[in-house]
């Protein structure tokens, strides 16, 4: 499988324009479907191997491939993370996990059950038992499928330091989401993007809860 992927990776062109923004996918094979983009890489699902995904890094972030591969090997097999199959110089091949990320759940009005929050907490505890430091857990790398939660993108789990993103997100879930959610309630993409950019610009410094209260008063 890795050899087959290697033949097609050369047809992929992924560019990082701004380190705070998602990468741009300029080119891709006709039989590969782009299913997600992050700040360092894009994720594709080959039609010939639909049970897998290929994470291709922008040239400026290619070194992360080996780092993330080592993290997957350290995690081993876990129901909370994708299975790791192998890598190339600038890509990983991992299991395709079905589900909708939290960002799209908010966009589409899909209910986020509390079990998802509990599953992510357990996944974090598992990763720590493996000697890792789970970090950068946000609305686009938590998947919801059949009421359960899963984590994708473990590239920052080897870094030192404390990351409060998940704790902030979890607090927002219990303090705001549970009270505000009604069946069919959707959050517009421009509002989610405004929140995302504000958080990135003010992480560790801004009054996050005060900002959340202003959003609540303005729109809910």
Burial of 1 (0-12, 13-18, 19+ CB in 10 A): middle
State how far the Cα of 201 lies from the Cα of 210, in Å rounded to an integer.
15
Return the DSSP state at 45.
E
Q: Find the catalytic residue in 136, 153, 179, 207.
A: 136
Alpha carbons 114 and 149: distance in angstroms, whole number: 9
Contact between residue 64 and residue 17 where contact means Cβ atoms under 8 Å apart: no
- In our burial notation (b when 16+ CB lie closer than 10 A, e otherwise), range 29-40 reads beebeeebbbbb
Coil, strand, or helix at residue 8? helix
Q: Which two tokens stand for residue 89?
A: 């110089």
Q: Please state, as a whole number, how many other Cβ atoms lie within 10 Å of the Cβ of residue 2.
A: 12
Kindly tell me the sign of the dihedral angle through the C-alpha atoms of 137, 143, 30, 193. negative
Annotated catalytic, 175? no
CA dist 168 → 20, 24, 171, 210 (Å)? 19, 28, 5, 13
Task: List residues with catalytic annotation.
Answer: 136
């Amino acid at each position: 499988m890795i050899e087959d992927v290697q033949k097609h990776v050369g047809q992929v062109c992924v560019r990082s324009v701004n380190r705070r923004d998602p990468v741009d996918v300029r080119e891709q094979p006709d039989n590969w479907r782009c299913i997600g983009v992050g700040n360092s890489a894009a994720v594709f699902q080959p039609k010939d191997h639909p049970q897998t995904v290929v994470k291709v890094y922008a040239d400026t972030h290619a070194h992360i491939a080996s780092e993330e591969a080592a993290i997957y090997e350290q995690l081993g097999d876990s129901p909370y993370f994708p299975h790791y199959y192998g890598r190339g110089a600038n890509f990983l091949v991992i299991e395709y996990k079905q589900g909708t990320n939290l960002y799209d759940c908010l966009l589409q009005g899909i209910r986020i059950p509390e079990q998802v929050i509990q599953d992510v907490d357990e996944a974090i505890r598992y990763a720590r038992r493996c000697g890792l430091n789970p970090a950068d857990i946000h609305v686009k790398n938590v998947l919801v499928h059949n009421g359960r939660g899963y984590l994708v993108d473990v590239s920052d789990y080897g870094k030192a330091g404390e990351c409060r993103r998940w704790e902030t997100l979890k607090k927002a879930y219990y303090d705001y989401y549970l009270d505000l959610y009604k069946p069919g309630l959707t959050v517009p993409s421009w509002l989610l993007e405004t929140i995302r950019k504000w958080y990135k610009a003010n992480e560790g410094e801004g009054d996050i809860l005060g900002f959340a209260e202003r959003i609540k008063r303005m729109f809910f």
